[in-house]
Amino acid sequence: MSVTHIIGAGISGLAAARRLSEHNSKIIIYESTNHPGGRCRTFYDEKLGLEIDNGNHLVLSSNNAILEMADINQLHIENNAKFNFVDLKNNSTWVVDAGSGKIPWMHKKPPGVNAWNLLNDYRNLNCDKTITDVLDTSTARWNSFWVPLILAVMNTSPDEASTKLMHKVLAESLLRGGHYCRPVFTLNGLSKAFVEPTAGRVDIRYGATLKNVEIRNNRVSNLVFRGFEVNLKPDDAVIMALPWAAAHDVCPSLPKPQEFNPIINVHFKTATSVETPQMTGLVGSYSQWLFRRKNVASITISAANQLSQNDNDDIAALVWAEVSNLLGGGIMPKYRVIKEKSATFKASPTVNASRPLTQSVTENLFIAGDWTATGLPATLEGASRSGFLAANAAKQFLSN
Long-range own/partner contacts, residues 222-225 (CB < 8 A, 24 or more apart): 223/5, 223/7, 223/30, 225/30
Spacing of C-alpha 112 from chain mean position: 29
Task: Return per-residue pLDDT of the chain as tens, 400 residues.
Answer: 899 999 999 999 999 999 999 877 799 999 999 999 999 999 999 999 999 999 999 999 999 999 999 999 999 999 999 999 999 999 999 999 999 999 998 999 999 999 999 999 999 999 999 999 999 999 999 999 999 999 999 999 999 999 999 999 999 999 999 999 999 999 999 999 999 999 999 999 999 999 999 999 999 999 999 999 999 999 999 999 999 999 999 999 898 888 999 999 999 999 888 877 799 999 999 999 999 999 999 999 999 999 999 999 999 999 999 999 999 899 999 999 999 999 999 999 999 999 999 999 999 999 999 999 999 999 999 999 999 999 999 999 998 8
Same domain, 254 and 282: no
Same domain, 247 and 211: yes
Per-residue pLDDT, 372: 98
28 within a domain of the structure (yes/no): yes
140 within a domain of the structure (yes/no): yes
Of 181, 204, 228, which residue sits at a domain end?
Answer: 181
> From CA 306, how far away is CA 375, in angstroms rounded?
28
Same domain, 92 and 52: no
235 within a domain of the structure (yes/no): yes
Per-residue pLDDT, 275: 79
DSSP SS3 for 83: strand
Same domain, 354 and 318: no
> Which domain CATH number covers 225?
3.50.50.60
Q: 6: which strand partners?
A: 29, 239
Phi, psi values for residue 49, rounded to 5°: 75, 30
Task: Find the distance separating the first CA and the last CA of the chain, reported in whole Å.
Answer: 14
203 within a domain of the structure (yes/no): yes
The 10 Å Cβ neighbour count of residue 214 is 12
Per-residue pLDDT, 274: 84
Same domain, 268 and 312: yes
Same domain, 21 and 64: no
Domain count, the chain: 3
| 374-396 residue pLDDT tens | 999 999 999 999 999 999 999 99
Per-residue pLDDT, 400: 82
Q: Which helix (H) or strand (E) holds 140?
A: helix 140-141
DSSP SS3 for 249: helix
> From CA 368, how far away is CA 128, in angstroms rounded?
24
186 within a domain of the structure (yes/no): no
Query: Is the CA virtual torsion 368, 372, 376, 378 positive or negative?
Result: positive
The residue among 298, 300, 293 whose CA lies nearest residue 272 is 293
Parent domain of 333: 44-77+259-345
169 within a domain of the structure (yes/no): yes
Same domain, 237 and 354: yes
Q: Which helix (H) or strand (E) holds 399?
A: helix 380-399
Same domain, 309 and 386: no
> From CA 343, how far away is CA 370, in angstroms rounded?
11
Same domain, 369 and 237: yes
Of 149, 181, 213, which residue sits at a domain end?
Answer: 181
DSSP SS3 for 171: helix
Same domain, 161 and 299: no
Per-residue pLDDT, 168: 98
Please, are residues 187 and 375 in contact by the beta-carbon 8 Å criterion?
no
Same domain, 232 and 103: no
Same domain, 252 and 282: no
Per-residue pLDDT, 22: 82
Of 181, 213, 246, which residue sits at a domain end?
Answer: 181
Write the DSSP string, 272-298: EEEEEEEEEEEESSS--EEEEEEEEEE
243 within a domain of the structure (yes/no): yes
> From CA 368, how far away is CA 12, in angstroms rounded?
6
